Amino acid sequence: EVQLAESGGGLIQPGGSLTLSCVASGFTVSNNYMSWVRQAPGKGLEWVSVIYSGGSTFYADSVKGRFTISRDNSRNTLFLQMNSLRVEDTAVYYCARGSVTGPGYFDFWGQGTLVTVSS
Amino acid sequence: DIQMTQSPSSMSASVGDRVTITCRASQGISSWLAWYQKKPGKAPKPLIYAASSLQSGVPSRFSGSGSGTDFTLTISSLQPEDFATYYCQQANSFPYTFGQGTKLEIK
């Protein structure tokens, strides 16, 4: 059974750093497209970043230069390192697997982890 | 960036109703479109990919259509568990973008 479990969220001050983790089971992270998607309180969904099976990475303009997506193949885990955090980064962050039919079709999602950026 | 616009933003309907939600892309995306159902405190649930293909396990009362810039999600007969917010999303190019959502409420 495919499962994704995020962790690492919490309360952080503006300008701070945080690393989110997403442990996968039932499939191999390194063989799939893996994305992070977020939802700010009361807002819609926003795609954040993707890492391809080959290792290529792409980011939304709103996080480019501040966030880094990566994976640890030995732990079958996806990461999102977030630096220079802003109040507007406050959101529930989901990891999601890209489908074999297209990297932008997210067929499995984690339950999300809440990041709150506030002083 | 490709902008996705959904209509309506909210609607109310009754159990058994047929409901249609529309999604328009600011430029052509062929059939690179997905639909998701979102309930508070839950992860988004994938419903449709490639504009009209049903995700595994999704009831057949859900259907999608369209290509290019105009797309629709139809629920043929609303069930109590279908009251939620629905999002379209383009998967044609980076950055992937979502519509603003359509909140479906019980009448």
The predicted pLDDT at position A79 comes to: 98
A50 chain-B contacts, CB cut-off 8 A: 94, 96
Around B69, how many Cα atoms within 13 Å sit in the side-chain half-sphere?
A: 7
The predicted pLDDT at position A52 comes to: 95
B4 chain-A contacts, CB cut-off 8 A: none
Quote the minimal CA–CA distance from A77 to chain B in Å.
19
A74-98 pLDDT, tens per residue? 999 999 999 999 999 999 999 999 9
Quick one: average pLDDT of B49-67?
Answer: 97
Best B36, B88, B96, B98 member to test A by mutation, with max A CBs in 10 Å, is: B96
* pLDDT more than 90, % of chain A: 97
Do the chains contact at A104 and B87, CB–CB below 8 Å? no
The number of beta carbons lying within 10 Å of the beta carbon of residue B80 is 7
Nearest to B46 among A50, A106, A110 (CB): A106
Residue matched to tokens 């980011």: A59
Is residue B67's pLDDT more than 90?
yes
Quote the minimal CA–CA distance from B27 to chain A in Å.
17
Quote the minimal CA–CA distance from B90 to chain A in Å.
8
* pLDDT more than 90, % of chain B: 98
Quick one: average pLDDT of B61-74?
Answer: 98
| Angle at A87 (CA atoms; ends A86, A91), nearest 5 degrees | 105
A14-62 pLDDT, tens per residue? 999 999 999 999 999 999 999 999 999 999 999 999 999 999 999 999 9
- For residue B107, name the pLDDT band (cuts at 50, 70, 90): confident
Rounded CA separation A44/A25 (Å): 27
Quick one: average pLDDT of B88-92?
Answer: 97
- For residue B93, name the pLDDT band (cuts at 50, 70, 90): very high
The predicted pLDDT at position B52 comes to: 98
The answer to whether A18 faces chain B, any CB pair under 8 Å, is no
Beta carbons of B5 and B23 less than 8 angstroms apart? yes
Do the chains contact at B44 and A46, CB–CB below 8 Å? no
| B70-75 and A102-109 beta bridge pairing | unpaired
- Chain A, window 90-119: residues with a beta carbon less than 8 angstroms from a chain B beta carbon: 94, 96, 99, 101-107, 109-112
The predicted pLDDT at position B73 comes to: 98
Do the chains contact at B46 and A107, CB–CB below 8 Å? yes
The predicted pLDDT at position A103 comes to: 87
Closest CA to A32 of A81, A112, A96, A109: A96
Q: Which positions ≥6 away from A74 have C-beta within 8 Å?
A: none
